[in-house]
Structure 1
Amino acid sequence: MSVLGELRRLRAGRAGRAAPRRRETAIGYLFLTPWLLGVVVITAVPMLASLYLAFTDYDLIRPPEWVGLDNVVAMLNDARLANSLRVTFTYVLVSVPLLLAFALLVAVLLDRKLRGLSFYRSIFYLPSLLGSSVAIAILWRQMFGRDGLINQVLAWFGVQGPSWISNPDTALGTIILLHVWTFGTPMLIFLAGLRQIPVMYYEAAQVDGASAFQRFTRITLPLLSPIIFFNLVLQIIGAFQSFTQAYVVSGGSGGPADSTMFYTMYLYQRGFAQLDMGYASALAWVLVLIIGAFTAVNFIASRFWVFYDD
């Protein structure tokens, strides 16, 4: 057989093998079409539209009017915006560490081969399913009201409790407690991570005389650090986007005295209550930058405290 004939045969074989691959690729993209359309229509297009509106004066009634950086300049002199940032940062920096610490504690306790482990996991996960719902937020508002369950319990001990949600000093704390109460999702992730740590590490450390605290700090935490990092990033992003709990507990006002005025709630008020959608769009993109900055800092800092078991 000539060299040219051999080359033709090889090319024909490759073309024959490539045809089924192209068909498989086309079928794959066909099944991905609904998701791709959703990403473009529901996510990408609205994001680009909001980026344009961030540089306009738009009240949802008249056409948008280009104003350049006027919305950014207005932010620098917005006292309520500064307060919402303070409230949101306080909420994130307090609630996220508390939630992760509590979730890890419960996961460690559940990792002790308890009977009925599936039942306990379901019970502890239930608040995560309900915690972001309007019904639970309403229940929370009733519990921490002046005549709510918390004050009724305190009354048994002769303590006259205040209306926790109506006091600027305690209103934010009640929402932080509500967030910590929804610890189920990170708890399950921690529990899955704990199950992946080889038991022989603990046995060897115990033989060497390591205490329970030393085994936890020298074995559990380092080997669990990738899971801690994963939960930390997710919880920070979620905490910055919190809205429902604060909106319902405060009655949509962000009160008392703007003590629960989260950034997302202020964005909602400017966009849908005051019909200042241009300014609200600018606020939304600032929130994207804030979340992106926190995420980037976490990834940079993870080099110093996250350890991967090769």
Structure 2
Amino acid sequence: MLLLLTFVLVPLVWALVTSLQQTNGFGAGVFVGAANYVQLFTDPLFWRSTLNTVLFTIIVTPASMALGLGIAVLLNSVLPARGVFRSIMIAPMAISGVATALMGLLLFDENSGVLNKVLESVGLPAISWQSGGTAAFASVVLVTLWWRVGFNMLIYLAGMQSISPELYEAAKLDGAGPWHRFRYVTVPLVGPSSFFLLILNVIYSFQVFDIIFVMTGGGPRNATSVLVTYAYDQGFVTRDQGYAAAIGMVLLVVMLIFTAVQWRFNTSRDVVE
């Protein structure tokens, strides 16, 4: 409780107080009430960052969960060298987001990246990974998936290994093929894992920062700007900490509402064997 008070509750209260002030990074702020929140509604960059954040979440969350589930199914079966493949998939979890983004730049840099070199070697045109908005967004999504799929796979694999083998045998005796066993046995019984991963992946996607900051910096032309990178620019570049804190508080409220709604209406969290 002391740690939570020191590192969570106190910063949250301080951020709320700061969001009600106009600041420039020097000296005490000036109390302006809800002016920072009113400004959000007329700020086109805020809405652009919000749209990018939602789009990023819509793409990354289901894709990383689906890939994680598919790989977990393969690794839970009789697959040669399963231990090696598990280690390969889990390895990104041990790497920080900044290091992951730097590795992503080695692949996606439009001037010296591996992918463009390969494309040019086979006579194909290079892709503008940093100067093209769609390509830049795609590169961030791909690197994020590489980083997140291993964690999702691990959680799903743990959930699958708790499923009794007798259930699969009974389904097989009833004539269920591989797809039907997956659809009617595996998917329902990993429901609690799916609920847990849904919450975590959405929260992570809305708070994504390090990969985007290192790979694109929110560019080009705000094509990859998300709420956290926009808040960073306002707080540490423009030095308007009050406005940045308001963005952070809006993000917090959105996450609390999403989690509460999922907890209220998602029944899979209560599935037990």
Number of residue pairs matched? 271
Residue 133 of structure 1 corresponds to 97
Q: Does 1:225 align with 2:191?
A: yes
Report the CA distance between 1:115 and its aligned residue: 4.2
- 2 CA distance for matches of 1:94 and 1:148? 24
**TM-score, normalised by the number of residues in structure 1:** 0.83
1:176 and 2:149 correspond: no
Distance in 2, matches of 1:223 and 1:298, equals 18
Q: Which residue of 2 aligns with 1:19?
A: none
Which string of whole-angstrom CA distances, capped at 9 and with x for unpartnered residues, describes residues 179-210 of structure 1?
A: 11021112111101111111111111111111
1:289 aligns with 2:262: no
Contact 1:56 1:65 in 2 (8 A): yes
1:246 aligned partner: 212
SS at match of 2:266: helix
Of the three residues 117, 122, 125, the one matched with 2:87 is: 122
- How do residues 45-56 of structure 1 correspond to structure 2 at under 5 angstroms? 45-56=10-21
Q: Once the two structures are superposed, what CA deviation does each residue of 1:226-259 show, in whole Å capped at 9, x if it has no partner?
A: 1111111111111111100000001x3x110101
Residue by residue over 1:156-196, the C-alpha shift from the partner in whole angstroms, topping out at 9 and shown as x without a partner, is 44311222222112111111111110211121111011111
Residue 100 of structure 2 contacts residue 143 of structure 2 at CA under 8 Å; is this kept in 1? no
What residue identity is the alignment partner of 1:165?
A: Q
Residue 49 of structure 1 and its aligned partner are, at CA, apart by 1.1
Structure 1 counterpart SS, 2:189? helix
Distance 2:51 2:232 in 1: 17
- Contact kept, 8 Å, 1:141 with 1:165, in 2: the verdict is no
Match of 1:67 among 11, 28, 32: 32
Find the partner of 2:77 among 112, 124, 135. Answer: 112
Letter matched to residue 115 of structure 2? I
* CA displacement, residues 259-291 of structure 1 (integer Å, 9 cap, x when unaligned): 110110000110111111111111111010111
SS in 2 for 1:166: coil
Larger RCO (CA under 8 A, 6+ residues apart): 2
Contact 2:104/2:143 (<8 A) preserved: yes
1:277 to 241, 257, 260: 241
Bigger radius of gyration: 1
Uncovered stretches (5+) of structure 1, i.e. residues with no partner: 1-35
Cα deviation, residue 43, structure 1: 2.1
Q: Deviations over 1:110-149 (max 9, x none)?
A: 001334433322211011222x432321221231122421
Residue 268 (str. 1) matches residue 232 (str. 2): yes
CA–CA distance in 2 between the matches of 1:39 and 1:309?
31
Per the alignment, in what secondary structure is the counterpart of residue 133 of structure 2?
coil
Q: Matched residues in 2 for 1:65 and 1:242: separation? A: 30
Segments of 5+ residues of structure 2 without an aligned counterpart are none
1:207 and 2:173 aligned:
yes
1:93 aligns with 2:74: no
Q: 1:37: how far off?
A: 3.4
Please report how far the alpha carbon of residue 307 of structure 1 lies from its aligned counterpart in structure 2 after TM superposition.
5.7
The one-letter code of the counterpart of 1:204 is A
Aligned: 1:216 with 2:191: no
Cα RMSD between the aligned structures? 1.6
Secondary structure of 1:233's match? helix
Q: CA deviation at 1:38?
A: 2.7
In structure 1, distance between residues paired with 2:155 and 2:223: 32
- Comparing 150-159 with 103-112, which one deviates more in the overlay? 150-159
1:308 aligns with 2:271: yes
Cα distance change on mapping 1:299 and 1:39 into 2, 3 Å: closer
Which residue, out of 20, 25, 49, partners 1:84?
Answer: 49
Structure 2 counterpart of 1:43: 8
Tell me the residue number matched to 2:164.
Answer: 198
Partner of 1:158: 123
Matched, 1:188 2:154: yes
